[in-house]
Structure 1
Amino acid sequence: MTANTDDLIKAALQAPSEDIARSILSAAGMSNDELAKSITTQTGLVAYDLQAPAKNLYPVNTPIRNRLPRVGGGIGVATNWKAIDRIIGSGYDAQGWVPEGQRSGQMSYATSNKAASYVTIGEEDGASFEAINAGRGFEDVKARMTMRMLQKMMLKEENALLGGNATLQLGTPSAPVASASGSTGAIAAATYSVIVVALSFEGCRGASIANGIPTTKVINGADGKTFTLYGGSSNKSAAGSVAVTSGQSILASVAPIMGAMGYAWFVGPSGSEVLQAITYINSVSLSTLRTGTQPATAITADNSANPNLAFDGLLTTAFKAGANGAAYVNQLATGTAGIGTKLTSSGRGSCNEVDAMLQGMWDAYQVSPSVLYVNSQETTGLTNAVLTGSSAPLLHYMQDPQSGGVKATAGGTIEYYFNPYSTEGGSKIPVKIHPALPPGTMIGWAENLPIQYQANEVPNVAEVKVRQDYYEIDWPITTRQRQVGVYAEEVLAVYAPFAMGIVTNIAKG
């Protein structure tokens, strides 16, 4: 088609009448039917309505990273501090009596040296020159790539601050106690072997029935070098045994492990056990058995910690301190296998397990959490424990003065939890859902020490001590690709582990 013909067709389309359009088309040597056939959407001669830039449909929710203070000035390989854990009076520690004219004995101190080693966290990405050039007019490919890379690193940092594990080995669980009962199960009659593997916070985050539980992974760095990450799983237990008759289900439980937030269960004929379930309590109930999932033989060692690469997060620090009595840790009782122990109501508008944690933290160290993080499961369980028939007298309706009627909103949850254990007569603790916290666990955290810790020199109970905060590296061009890395060198320094409390092994309520 010539440019002149193209102009005539445009003129025909814009003609004020059909007769004039016909005359113009005739001059172009085309009929009206031919024009109608040539101009349709099926020809593909249409514009492409692409909205720019791309929609980023993923959450970047990092509440603890956002809440923790970041303190610079780090040097060397670790940050170090000295702690005076107790001041011990002479004589009877609780008595200060001195005879007239005499001197008291000298007091003493319980001290400890603390250190937290700096580690590096990072993420990398790359974009070819073709991708960068083809994206012009749509989005700045390199800039957006860097933004998304920083967001992903912040998400990984959030996981590290909450549950990073450098030092807490889960070891080997004891052999499960297994039994069979019921009449509605679909397990073939036979004798089965039951094996369990404990999971840390990181293990819970990486485990699934489809992909199995994480053991180790070799990372191929963008520099061509490799390193190994440990996935957060314990060694496998010795096997328990159970004889099943037709219609029965398998019930199994294991002694809880300090630091475990989940358990993976492998069941099958002896030597052929495969992954059947992942639970967030220390027991399981199975009415059917899977095939084709991860075999228990894939677990050959304790892969729960990364001692040379990671730092301990809040949960790991609290679990370790709880083992030594310096933090409140309550692993709820096993209860009935597969059902576990739920949060329970006090009958006065509160939850027994949370009340026990608040009182325990006060009695031992005179501290009170300033925030309570829970999983969505525990939001429901806590609400069910608090809002019961016996707590109804504590609730009230708000009447709308305009309409004169009572308006009720369906549903409800716990926004704050009142803590009566404090010097000032009580405080409200916000209850927040943490997107990464596994079901079955809640953590209370006092972000600052109370006023009675005079001259404590601890402005923050926990802080991110940075040797070098976020920095971007644009690597030299060695291929037709722009390669970028985002890194930070930091450590979580927890100065008062006793200012944290954990309730775990909570069954769904």
Structure 2
Amino acid sequence: MNIAQTTQETLGLMKESLAKNVTVSTGLTAYDLQAPAKNLYPTITPLRNSLPRVARLNPGDAARWRTISSVTGSGFDAMGWVPEGQRSASMSYQAVLNTAPYLTLGEEDTVTFEAEAAAQGFEDINATATLRILQKTMRKEEHALMGGNTSLALGTPGAPTLTASGTGATLPSATYSVIVVGLTFEGYSNSSLAGGISTTKTITGNDGNTYTLNGGSSMRSANVTQAVTLGQTLFTTAPLINGAVAYAWFVGPAGSETLQAITTINSAAFSAPLASGQQSATVIAADNSRNPTLAFDGLLTVGFNPVNSAYVQALASGTAGTGTFMTSSGRGSVVEIDNMLVQMWNTYRLSPTVIYVNAQEQKNITNKCLTNASGPLIRYNVAADSDNGGPYGVSASGVVRWYYNPFSVDAGCDIPVKVHPDLPPGTILAYCERLPVWYQSNQTPNVAEVMTRRDYYRVDWPLRTRRREFGVYTEEVLAVYAPFGVGILTNIGNG
């Protein structure tokens, strides 16, 4: 047998083997990976997008401005009468110096040399990593603009009030002890039943240095006990905490209370057996509600801080576990929102230009406004170019997109009602973005601005290992010139 014949027979045997054994599952196929990677995460930043960003020429260490908050006339402030040939006395001013230090926000990432080489032909991994860092920094900035907290400490809450009543519950008979902890906007964002209440977190930076952030929780309250018999529900109500948008409830035998609920009203009800393995109340050992040197105040904190004289209304405690609902006026509006609008007009002669709500509150506002009583007030719009001869179309459901404010010298205005992705249920933020013309708006056109010492910039750190290290940072502060342009409704029950 010659070599040619042997080779031909060998090839024949190989073909027979491949024909019998090679399938798609063998893996001998092309790998069709679509490029670039799909970034399937939301980047919603309505406050960051809408707030004016102003770069200062010589920023220094802080933004500073003087506010003339009142002008008081001589004599009777509302009377200007002067006798013939005589002079009026001098009016007086109230001027305040405001200082807002610039703070830094940022995020970092790394790309190894191997990852960089392996990504060739797929995507520019350094560029896309930078984009993702920038987007995450913007999301963190959105949280800061909404509820950063440097000035308002929640302190130690008052002890809750407990009762037990009802039938049909499955909570075992025992004497239960309850402790409450208040949560700021940041505390609510950073906490969960599974992960526990945020207290402090120590971060080790990529430079090896460490720093500590407070998570946004108050000190724990004193405990209160209540005997419960089988069939009864345990009800608990805490004193309202100014600045808190949520409350964490620790329940159990005295000395062994664990986290059982987080509510956005100041009460809770427990009718089922308690969950095991939850965070212990002893973890809450201090007031960690603010970051006095690392943060600036967001709009919620500015509004809650009593020194700023913003409109804040916490709804009454109401029924424990249920709270107090917003009230329909019977004429297509909500009583509590109407009260806020008229109070802001009567006190400061302005109106909010936007109302931010949680999805829960948008639904509740719609239910309060679109009632049988308000039916005659509903307007049906048809486009002028529609085909009146064709079939009619009906859209199911409906939502309140605008809220009309009649309290204004220019015959009122429509205020957009917008769902904010981070605003907790039970809290509504009304915000006047632009001062009306009678506030000398050429000098102070905006209620608030993001003052930037150095806006978004990327830092490429020197190589020290076989990986590229870079970060995106911004140095800024939220300057709120007219804090009375903020209105807050909170402690709103879901209904």
Within the candidate set 300, 303, 313, 1:330 is matched to 313
* Distance (Å, rounded) in 1 between the aligned partners of 2:97 and 2:18: 88
Which AA in structure 1 matches 2:421?
P
Q: 1:208-231: per-residue Cα shift (whole Å, max 9, x none)?
A: 000111000000100001000000
Are residue 413 (structure 1) and residue 399 (structure 2) matched?
yes
In the TM superposition, what is the alpha-carbon distance from 1:398 to its structure 2 partner?
A: 5.4
* CA 1:355–1:300: 2 relative to 1, 3 Å: same
Q: Report the counterpart of residue 131 of structure 2 in structure 1.
A: 147
Within the candidate set 112, 118, 123, 1:128 is matched to 112
Q: Report the counterpart of residue 314 of structure 1 in structure 2.
A: 299
In the TM superposition, what is the alpha-carbon distance from 1:134 to its structure 2 partner?
A: 1.1
Q: Which runs of 4+ in 1 moved over 6 A?
A: none
Are residue 378 (structure 1) and residue 361 (structure 2) matched?
yes
Q: Report the counterpart of residue 11 of structure 1 in structure 2.
A: none
Name the count of aligned residue pairs. 486
* CA 1:325–1:463: 2 relative to 1, 3 Å: closer
Within the candidate set 172, 175, 197, 2:156 is matched to 172
Which AA in structure 1 matches 2:214?
Y
Q: 1:120-159: per-residue Cα shift (whole Å, max 9, x none)?
A: 1110111111111111111111111111011000000000
Does the 8 Å contact 2:353/2:431 carry over to 1? yes
Does the 8 Å contact 2:250/2:281 carry over to 1? yes
* Distance (Å, rounded) in 1 between the aligned partners of 2:174 and 2:153: 35
Q: Report the counterpart of residue 351 of structure 1 in structure 2.
A: 334
* Distance (Å, rounded) in 2 between the aligned partners of 1:277 and 1:185: 17
Which AA in structure 2 matches 1:135?
A
* Distance (Å, rounded) in 1 between the aligned partners of 2:440 and 2:466: 60
Tell me the percent identity.
Answer: 56
Q: 1:279-334: per-residue Cα shift (whole Å, max 9, x none)?
A: 000110111222210010000000000001000001101111xx247211110110
Does the 8 Å contact 2:302/2:308 carry over to 1? no
Are residue 187 (structure 1) and residue 174 (structure 2) matched?
no
* Distance (Å, rounded) in 2 between the aligned partners of 1:397 and 1:416: 15
Q: 1:23-62: per-residue Cα shift (whole Å, max 9, x none)?
A: xx87943487434214422322111111111111100000
Q: Report the counterpart of residue 89 of structure 1 in structure 2.
A: 73
* CA 1:235–1:27: 2 relative to 1, 3 Å: closer
Are residue 215 (structure 1) and residue 199 (structure 2) matched?
yes
* Distance (Å, rounded) in 2 between the aligned partners of 1:91 and 1:396: 51
Within the candidate set 37, 40, 50, 1:67 is matched to 50
Q: 1:401-429: per-residue Cα shift (whole Å, max 9, x none)?
A: 44455432111101111110111010011
In the TM superposition, what is the alpha-carbon distance from 1:239 to its structure 2 partner?
A: 1.1
* Distance (Å, rounded) in 2 between the aligned partners of 1:339 and 1:202: 24
Does the 8 Å contact 1:397/1:408 carry over to 2? no
Query: What does 1:64-463 align with in structure 2 at a 5 Å threshold?
Result: 64-73=47-56, 75-288=59-272, 289-320=274-305, 323-324=306-307, 326-397=309-380, 401-403=387-389, 406-454=392-440, 457-463=443-449
In the TM superposition, what is the alpha-carbon distance from 1:396 to its structure 2 partner?
A: 4.3
Does the 8 Å contact 1:397/1:406 carry over to 2? no
Q: Secondary structure at the match of 1:380?
A: helix
Does the 8 Å contact 2:451/2:476 carry over to 1? yes
Unaligned runs of 5+ in 1: 9-24
The 10-residue stretch of structure 1 (134-143 or 221-230) with the greater mean CA deviation from structure 2? 134-143
Does the 8 Å contact 1:398/1:407 carry over to 2? no
* Distance (Å, rounded) in 2 between the aligned partners of 1:388 and 1:274: 42
Unaligned runs of 5+ in 2: none
* Distance (Å, rounded) in 2 between the aligned partners of 1:455 and 1:36: 82
Which AA in structure 2 matches 1:499?
G
* CA 1:447–1:34: 2 relative to 1, 3 Å: same
Does the 8 Å contact 2:308/2:483 carry over to 1? no
Q: 1:374-418: per-residue Cα shift (whole Å, max 9, x none)?
A: 000101010011011101111244577444554321111011111
Does the 8 Å contact 2:435/2:441 carry over to 1? no
Quote the RMSD (CA, aligned, Å). 1.8
Which AA in structure 1 matches 2:318?
G
Q: Report the counterpart of residue 43 of structure 1 in structure 2.
A: 26
* Distance (Å, rounded) in 1 between the aligned partners of 2:308 and 2:67: 17
* Distance (Å, rounded) in 1 between the aligned partners of 2:180 and 2:11: 83
Q: Secondary structure at the match of 1:377?
A: helix
TM-score (norm 1): 0.92
Does the 8 Å contact 1:465/1:492 carry over to 2? yes
Which has the larger Rg? Answer: 1
* Distance (Å, rounded) in 1 between the aligned partners of 2:158 and 2:264: 17
Which AA in structure 2 matches 1:327?
A
